[in-house]
Amino acid sequence: TGASIALLCNAFFDWDVSIVSFTLVGMAGVMSGVMKAPLTSIFLIAELSNGYGLFIPLMITACISFAVDYYLDPDSIYTKQLRLRGELLTHDKDQSVFVFLKLDSLMETDFIRIRQRMTLGDLVHIISTARRNIFPVIDEFGRLLGVVQLDDLREDMFKREKYGHPITDYMIQPPDRILEHETVQSILPKFEDKHTWMLPVVDKQGRYLGFISKSRILNAYREQLVRIQQ
């Protein structure tokens, strides 16, 4: 662009503009915008030109390029992919903490899975050894169909005449579902929007993997924040 402007000025306005100088200043503008490094571009081009005669034009061009490009996209070519993957460490402690929190390490998998063909009586026998009060209902392919909560069974679990009822009569749909490759930071709004403390995790095919709880995320956040501060 710098070389083109110099050629146009020389051709249409009969000016004696240095094509080399305009090209070098254009290079500084590109480096400043793409790399988000205006000082590096200024001094590097100044060294290439074997002098500081272009120092003022370099400063003006690099600063304008940096300001415009930072407004359009604050990430450089070195940080953009990291931010997209949620792995960019910043001066913001909240952002940095979430980089270290991984969904698979926070996921809880000790929930007893129940089949859709089971009855209330089958689940009552399972409850005697269960440590959780939520039971994921899956089909023969392992896909999550819904969940059964212990609170929804209390009224009928001691009525033997209802033990033949299919468990799907008590099944409800979870408020939302979390995909296995989502970042911890991206799933927190789901807990807030749905006003819940527990959500199931599934893969792209909808197969059940486990549960993630808001309380566990907050505990891991506090522990990681302490490590960073230390």
CATH of the domain at 199: 3.10.580.10
Of 60-69, 104-113, 146-155, 214-223, least confident by mean pLDDT is 214-223
Whether residue 120 lies inside any domain: the answer is: yes
Of 72, 91, 112, which marks where a domain is finished? 72
What Rg do the C-alpha atoms of the chain give, in angstroms?
30
In the predicted structure, residue 63 carries a pLDDT above the cut 50:
yes
- CA 222 to the chain's CA centroid: 19
Whether residue 82 lies inside any domain: the answer is: no
Whether residue 198 lies inside any domain: the answer is: yes
In the predicted structure, residue 56 carries a pLDDT above the cut 60:
yes
Q: Tell me the average pLDDT across 59-73.
A: 90
Whether residue 65 lies inside any domain: the answer is: yes
pTM, 2 dp: 0.57
- Tens-place pLDDT, residues 176-225: 999 988 888 788 888 888 888 899 999 999 999 999 988 888 888 777 77
Residue of 31, 39, 35, 42 lying closest to 74 (CA atoms): 35
Q: Tell me the average pLDDT across 6-23.
A: 88
Gap between the Cα atoms of 200 and 65, Å rounded: 46
User: Do 67 and 110 belong together in one domain?
Assistant: no
Could you tell me the pLDDT band of residue 155, with boundaries at 50, 70 and 90?
A: confident
**Total number of domains in the chain:** 2
User: Do 43 and 111 belong together in one domain?
Assistant: no
Secondary structure, 3-state, 58-110: HHHHHHHHHHHHHHHCCCCCCCHHHHHCCCCCCCCHHHHHHHHCCHHHHCECC
User: Do 184 and 117 belong together in one domain?
Assistant: yes
Gap between the Cα atoms of 47 and 1, Å rounded: 21
Look up the domain containing 134 and give its range. Answer: 100-229
User: Do 110 and 222 belong together in one domain?
Assistant: yes
In the predicted structure, residue 94 carries a pLDDT above the cut 80:
no
